[in-house]
Amino acid sequence: MYEYVAFDLETTGLSEENDEMIEVGAVKIRNCKIVGKYNQIINPHRPLTYQIIQLTGIEQELVERGREKEEVLKEFLDFCDGYPLLGHNVMFDYRFMKTGMNRLGLPFEKNGADTYMIAKKLLKQQVKSKSLGSLCDFYHYTNQAAHRAYHDALATAVIYEKMKLQFPDEKEVFLPKQLQFKPKKTSPATEKQKRYLNDLLKYHKIKGTIAFESMTKSDASKQIDQIILKYGRMK
């Protein structure tokens, strides 16, 4: 494919149902040239674990200044409209993105290609590990900020183009295919949960905004539990 959006996410964990996106990064490619860039930090409204901070270098203070997920997802939907997606282990990122879109009632049916799967097929002997870092080393590309969404997305696009040059006869493997994932059905947070959560925020004088519109029952319960665990119940 000659036109596509390479994208990457950083998240609070591995579960698209229970974890949150904290960064979206993407590059729009047309005929091997960057024609668009997208990079946003998302406020997950929860504490980051030590492991995530160490892995990404994204600090709690940074995400607390981040944007709301609803705004970012709507922008990203427009950014990649009409383009297939490219990712490294693309289904991980696609599951998170589609789950988020689904909770907002937004359609997100995409075709895509996966540099991880392409490398597994074409570089069986040359590269032992098919991680993005190993492929960057193999192709002598320096990723300026590994485990940051924009730079990983850019690295993915570079690796894809380098593999296309190395294997010009393997056209089929580089073609986008339909990405298939069906998010689990979720129930929206009840009005009772929203009121109680809002009361907790006011009672404990917790600053910040809560994305009530897209909040599920499960999200609301977790937020309430986290606040009570940290600050206590209302008296």
Query: Which pLDDT score is estimated for 209?
Result: 65
User: Which sequence spans correspond to the domains of the chain?
Assistant: 3-178, 191-231
Three-class secondary structure of residue 80 per DSSP: coil
Bigger pLDDT: 196 vs 235? 196
Query: Which pLDDT score is estimated for 172?
Result: 96
Query: Average pLDDT for residues 221-230, to the nearest whole number?
Result: 84
Query: Average pLDDT for residues 74-91, to the nearest whole number?
Result: 98
Query: Average pLDDT for residues 168-174, to the nearest whole number?
Result: 96
- How does the average pLDDT of the chain come out, rounded? 93
- In this structure, what DSSP letter does residue 216 have? B
The two three-digit tokens of residue 206, written as one number: 């917790």
Lowest mean pLDDT among 32-36, 71-75, 173-177, 208-212: 208-212
The helix (run of H) or strand (run of E) holding residue 114 is: strand 111-114
Q: 3-178 maps to which CATH number?
A: 3.30.420.10
Q: CA of 148: how far to CAs of 2, 39, 187, in Å? A: 24, 10, 32
Query: Which pLDDT score is estimated for 208?
Result: 67
Band of pLDDT at residue 212, cut at 50, 70 and 90: confident
19-31 residue pLDDT tens: 999 999 999 999 9
